[in-house]
Amino acid sequence: EDQVTQSPEALRLQEGESSSLNCSYTVSGLRGLFWYRQDPGKGPEFLFTLYSAGEEKEKERLKATLTKKESFLHITAPKPEDSATYLCAVRGPTSGTYKYIFGTGTRLKVLA
Amino acid sequence: DVKVTQSSRYLVKRTGEKVFLECVQDMDHENMFWYRQDPGLGLRLIYFSYDVKMKEKGDIPEGYSVSREKKERFSLILESASTNQTSMYLCASSSRRSSYEQYFGPGTRLTVT
């Protein structure tokens, strides 16, 4: 069964304190791993798509990386405005062309 | 810029009422989705549609139905609302042309009393 697990559930950082969020997945034949940011009371906002092990994508203070079993979202020198829940999702052949398996997210709080 | 809009941000309904949630996207995406999001359970797929008039059940379709008469519009219907359908409802769209990245609407917080 396809599965996505995110850790930690919650993370508190001081402003400027870099860290990483983890997304572990079990999917046979990954067809895409997606990262989203979700602010309270709002819909998720698309950040990155990764397809193959070794791939990396960057956007401002965020960098996503992918291995065969997990993805990391690295946050460099975070600011309070980076506080949000970060969601990871995967697509795979057993979940179907149109379905995505989501993790439950990591709630990030960055303190000034 | 992809835009997905939902008809209401907040909705309060009584048990037994029929509830309509509407979603519109302006990027000509062929795929549209309805999810509900509950604390600790993440996003769960209710229904999705990969073409006009086509629909498929997701993981939790019981108590819901959908309608897609036009490509840009996907409606979620709660036939007889119950308190356990109190949740955040999220609509999303995607396209093969944009590598199946999902774009979400702002969500509808539905409370059933």
- The full 3-state SS of chain B, as one line of letters, equals CCCEEECCCEEEECCCCCEEEEEEECCCCCEEEEEEEECCCEEEEEEEEEECCEEEECCCCCCEEEEEEECCEEEEEECCCCHHHCEEEEEEEECHHHCCCCEECCCEEEEEC
Q: Which pLDDT value is given to residue A31?
A: 87
- Per residue in B61-77, pLDDT (tens digit) is 999 999 999 999 999 99
Among the residue ranges A83-87, B10-14, B48-52, B80-84, the one predicted with the least confidence is B48-52
Percent of chain B scoring above 70 in pLDDT? 98
For chain B, the average pLDDT equals 94
For residue A102, give the nearest of B43, B103, B106 by CB distance. Answer: B43
How many other C-beta atoms can be found within 10 angstroms of the C-beta atom of residue B91? 27
CB contact under 8 A, B107 and A42: yes
* Cis amide prior to A80 (ω within 30 degrees): no
- pLDDT at residue A30, rounded to an integer: 86
pLDDT along chain A (112 residues), means of 10: 92 98 91 94 94 95 96 97 96 72 95 96
Which of B74, B104, B108, B110 is the best substitution to test chain A (most A C-beta atoms within 10 A)?
B104
pLDDT in tens, B38-59: 988 889 999 999 999 899 999 8
Q: B39 in contact with A at a CB cutoff of 8 Å? A: no
Distance from CA of A94 to the nearest CA of B (A): 14
Q: pLDDT grade, residue B102 (50/70/90)? A: very high
Q: Between chains, do A98 and B56 touch, taking CB under 8 Å as contact?
A: yes
Work out the pLDDT band at B21, boundaries 50, 70, 90: very high
Nearest-CB residue to A103 (from B42, B50, B107)? B42
B101 contacts in chain A (CB < 8 Å) = 34, 46, 49
